[in-house]
A and B are shown apart, each in its own frame.
Chain A
Amino acid sequence: MNLGQTIIDGLALGALYALVAVGLALVFGVLRLINFAQGELITAGAYALSLTSNWPVIAQIALCFVVCVGLSVAIERIAFRPLRGAAPATTLVATFAVAFALEAVWLIAFGANGKPADPLSTLNTIAIRGSLNLRWITIVEIVAGIVLLGGTALILNRTSIGLQMRAAATDFRTARLLGVRTNLVISFAFVIAGVMAAVVALLYTVQTPLVTQTFGLDITIIALVGAVVGGLDRLWTATAGGFAIGFATSVLGDVLPASQEKFLTAFVFLLVILLLLLRPGGLFTGFGRTTVERV
């Protein structure tokens, strides 16, 4: 085993989880709502890829984006808009229910056996051979992570809508008093979440080319856990948390002996509990400021 290889693979998986975490954190920022259904966007995008396997790849990718963004905005309109202002526990259970219902839809529509989707399977080839074996997908995942996270940061810091989102995330009421359009800002958050989901769907099919109804759920739950551990309150802490859990899972999976690797999930979640106990407001929050525990 090679340490460099382990780290590179960890970076790639971390980047993927970070993208999911960004979507979750953006939505949480403006709505105070944990969107379990984010995973269903990824699943929907992946099914879209599998159903169009005879299309040109560009068209497949475009469709994947349309499906993810469209579904993201639609879920917000139909299910989450009426829930604005409800208690966090209520919204948590509600988005759980939406995810569950959508999963049933996938099962009804596409069956339980899974559908193949591999539009980008060529990325599975080795790009650089040597002491480190770098596959294209690893490089693409890391680059996509950097570009998309950087792009999100640019939008948030350099555009008016980004400024409005940041304001709304800290103090929605005051933001509205200044004329920030609630629905616009919230829809925009869901659009970005949809874009992230589409990218994750595309990249994730490379390593998991069989799309089942829980395709996006698992990765979303792990990313969510990471985001909460990092601190869901702030975009960068949530993203860092998502990245960290992806990185840790990948590295631990490599480092742990096979006999213990089967307990990897238990390990990671034990760590999650410990971190939550030590820093309920988030691992990365609270530098130079005190956090009030939100009930």
Chain B
Amino acid sequence: MAEPALEVQALEVRYGAVPALRGATLSIEAGEIVGLVGPNGAGKSTLLHAVMGALPIAGGSVRFEGRSLAGVPTERIVRQGLALVPEGRHIFPDLTVDENLRLGLVGRGSTDGISDDLERVRTLFPVVHDFRDRQAGLLSGGQQQQLAIARALVSKPRLLLLDEPSLGLAPAVVETVWNTLSEIRSTGVTIMLVEQRAQITVGFADRTYVLGDGRVKMQMTPQDADDTERMVEAYFGS
């Protein structure tokens, strides 16, 4: 039986004495797009950063394709095939678009096929090609988001984590971004999508976990997207 791409078991993370995750459990199968929604402060970003090794784990376990990630430094986790597109995009504004993209190459597990992958990403996101010599800080929000995803993709991840990719983008741009996510999935990349906009996410992802108070409260499928009552319960019920 194949291992799940990502398995998070009873994960606990604390900021000082303040608990941010109090035993979150979820798992993602290879090839899925899985959503993670929840109100502000539910611990969504914390979970992603803990998976990436950027926050210390206080309890529980994180496994990627069966291997434990606890205590593994971020730079090694990236090389194992995980990539995070952080909230707020965090492109490097002073570097050129192309330099930003090339930074993604740093985290590749292998050096084979770099030019092919760069080519593929450039077709998927024409922006990174058209504006390659421009300072990344001069791009629009949507273009920066595309650059951030492109940058994550050239590290050749098997699991792509996205933290609120639609934040601050115009609805039309959001649609483009999500269409590309489907395309990325079709190339065999598993996707975990953290979002505030619950309804759209639930409708888009194969499955969506609802996070609240540092725990996974329920799981939803696209059929639930129009069930307003269930959505409200997920967010505000106890």
Please say whether chains A and B are actual partners in one complex: yes
Q: Does A179 contact B (CB under 8 A)?
A: yes
With a CB–CB cut-off of 8 A, which chain A residues contact B152?
178
**Distance in Å: Cβ of A279 to nearest Cβ of chain B:** 19
Most buried by B among A160, A176, A177, A180: A177
Which stretch, B36-44, B86-94, B225-233, touches the partner chain A? B86-94
Docked Cα-Cα span, A181 to B152, in Å, equals 16
Other-chain residue from B75, B95, B102 in contact with A179 (beta carbon distance below 8 A): B75
- Size bracket, chain B contacts: 20 to 34
Known contacts: A160-B102, A178-B103, A179-B107. The answer to whether A167 contacts B95 by CB under 8 A is yes
Asked if B52 CB lies within 8 Å of chain A CBs, one says: yes
Most buried by A among B90, B95, B152: B90
Instruction: Give min CB distance, A193 to chain B, whole Å.
Output: 22
Is B106 located at the chain interface by the 8 A CB criterion?
yes
Q: B215 to chain A: which residues have CB within 8 Å?
A: none
C-alpha spacing A180/B54, complex, angstroms: 13
**What's the Cα separation between A171 and B92 when bound, in Å?**
7
A177 to B79, CA, bound (A): 10
Inter-subunit contact B93/A163 (CB<8 Å): no
Which residues from chain B contact A175 at a C-beta distance below 8 Å? 103
Interface residues of B in 72-101 (CB under 8 A from A): 73-75, 78-79, 84, 86, 90, 92-95, 99
A170 at the interface (CB under 8 A from B): yes
Residue on B with the closest CB to A164? Answer: B106
Q: Is B104 an interface residue (CB 8 A)?
A: yes
> Do residues B93 and A176 form an inter-chain contact, with CB atoms below 8 A?
no
| Binary interface encoding of chain B residues 39-80 relative to chain A, with 1 for a CB under 8 A from any of its CBs, else 0 | 000000000000010100000000000000000011100110
Task: Find B155's partner among A166, A179, A182 (CB 8 Å cutoff).
Answer: A179
Interface size class of A (residues with CB under 8 A): 10 to 19
A170 to B104 alpha-carbon distance, docked (Å): 16
CB pair A163–B102 under 8 Å, yes or no, is yes
| A173 CB–B CB distance under 8 Å | yes
Among candidates B90, B95, B106, residue contacting A180 with C-beta atoms closer than 8 Å: B106
CB distance from B167 to the nearest CB of A (A): 16
| Given A163-B99, A173-B54: A178 in contact with B93 (beta carbons within 8 A) | no
Shortest beta-carbon distance, A154 to chain B, in Å? 15
Q: A160-B106, A163-B99, A167-B95 are in contact. Are A174 and B74 (CB under 8 A)?
A: no
A167 touches which of B74, B86, B92 (Cβ 8 Å): B92
| Shortest Cβ distance from residue B51 to the other chain A in the assembled complex, whole angstroms | 11
Q: Are A178 and B54 in contact (CB under 8 A)?
A: no
Closest to B85 in A: A177
Residues of A contacting B: mostly: helix
* Option from B54, B102, B155 in Cβ contact (under 8 Å) with A176: B54
Q: In the complex the two chains form, is A176's CB within 8 Å of B75's CB?
A: yes
Of the candidates B79, B86, B90, B95, which one forms a contact with A166 in the assembled complex, judged by CB atoms under 8 Å apart? B95
Query: Are A163 and B95 closer than 8 Å at their CB atoms?
Result: yes
B103 and A177 contact, CB distance less than 8 A: no
A contact residues around B105 at 8 Å (CB): 160
State A181–B52 Cα separation when bound (angstroms): 14
Chain B residues positioned under 8 Å from A164 (CB to CB): 103, 106
Question: Is the pair A176, B92 in contact by a Cβ cutoff of 8 Å?
Answer: no
A179 touches B92 (CB 8 A): no
CB-defined contacts of B93 to chain A, threshold 8 Å: 170
Q: Find out whether the CB atom of A174 lies under 8 angstroms from the CB atom of B102.
A: no
Q: Are B94 and A178 in contact (CB under 8 A)?
A: no
B104 interface neighbour in A171, A173, A176, A178, Cβ under 8 Å: A178
Return the 4 tightest CB-CB contacts between A and B, nearest first.
A179-B107, A179-B78, A174-B90, A176-B74
Give me the interface of A with B, judged by CB distance under 8 Å: 160, 163-164, 166-167, 170-171, 173-182
Chain A to chain B contacts (Cβ below 8 Å), 21 pairs:
A163-B99, A164-B103, A164-B106, A166-B92, A167-B103, A170-B92, A170-B93, A170-B94, A170-B95, A173-B90, A177-B74, A177-B78, A177-B84, A177-B86, A178-B78, A178-B151, A179-B75, A179-B78, A179-B79, A180-B103, A182-B73
